[in-house]
């Protein structure tokens, strides 16, 4: 059984609270570790959209988030659309991986420079991630994740 869920929020970091409240509805539909991982990716990618992709754009710029949940195949797809400049996802992941290697000797996580950690988290959590540009000028971050059957 396929379920589609959608929310649109402003490109405002304070909309994160609304987004988190919306995401709560999936807590009982997914195994707890999967829900927590997907929630982390949602927060990281949304924060990147607001902070980087929509930098300089009005707060009213919409961010669309869609979740498709297949409860028979135990599969989740998360899509997050933005109006920023397109970028090369693979190149950015490679850059972040190189940076994380450089930063492995830091004593505290607070000492590690920001930038790219969200994509590294998404790459680690997801079965697949991709970034597409659509004809309407929006970009879409897509994460696919298989999960275990709830008992």
- pTM of the predicted structure, to 2 decimals: 0.86
Collapse the DSSP code of 105 into the 3-class scheme (helix H, G, I; strand E, B; otherwise coil) and give the result. Answer: helix
Cα–Cα distance for residue pair 141/73, rounded to 1 Å? 22
pLDDT in tens, 67-97: 999 999 999 999 999 999 998 888 888 887 7
Cα–Cα distance for residue pair 112/100, rounded to 1 Å? 8
**Helix 117-125 vs helix 32-48: crossing angle, to nearest 10:** 150
pLDDT in tens, 130-140: 999 999 999 99
Contact 29, 36 (CB under 8 A): no
pLDDT reading at 103 higher than 70: no
pLDDT score, position 4: 97
Average pLDDT score, the chain: 89
């Amino acid at each position: 059984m396929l379920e589609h869920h959608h929310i649109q929020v402003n490109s405002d970091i304070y909309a994160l609270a609304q987004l988190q409240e919306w995401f709560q509805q999936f807590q009982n539909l997914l195994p707890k570790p999967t829900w927590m991982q997907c929630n982390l990716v949602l927060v990281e990618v949304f924060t990147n959209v607001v902070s980087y992709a929509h930098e300089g754009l009005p707060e009213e710029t919409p961010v669309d988030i869609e979740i498709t949940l297949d409860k028979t195949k135990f599969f989740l797809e998360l899509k997050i659309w933005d109006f920023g400049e397109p970028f090369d996802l693979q190149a950015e992941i490679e850059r972040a991986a190189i940076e994380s290697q450089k930063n492995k000797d830091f004593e505290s996580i607070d000492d590690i420079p920001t930038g790219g950690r969200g994509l590294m988290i998404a790459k680690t959590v997801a079965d697949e991630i991709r970034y597409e540009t659509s004809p309407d000028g929006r970009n879409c971050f897509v994460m696919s994740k298989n999960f275990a059957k709830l008992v």
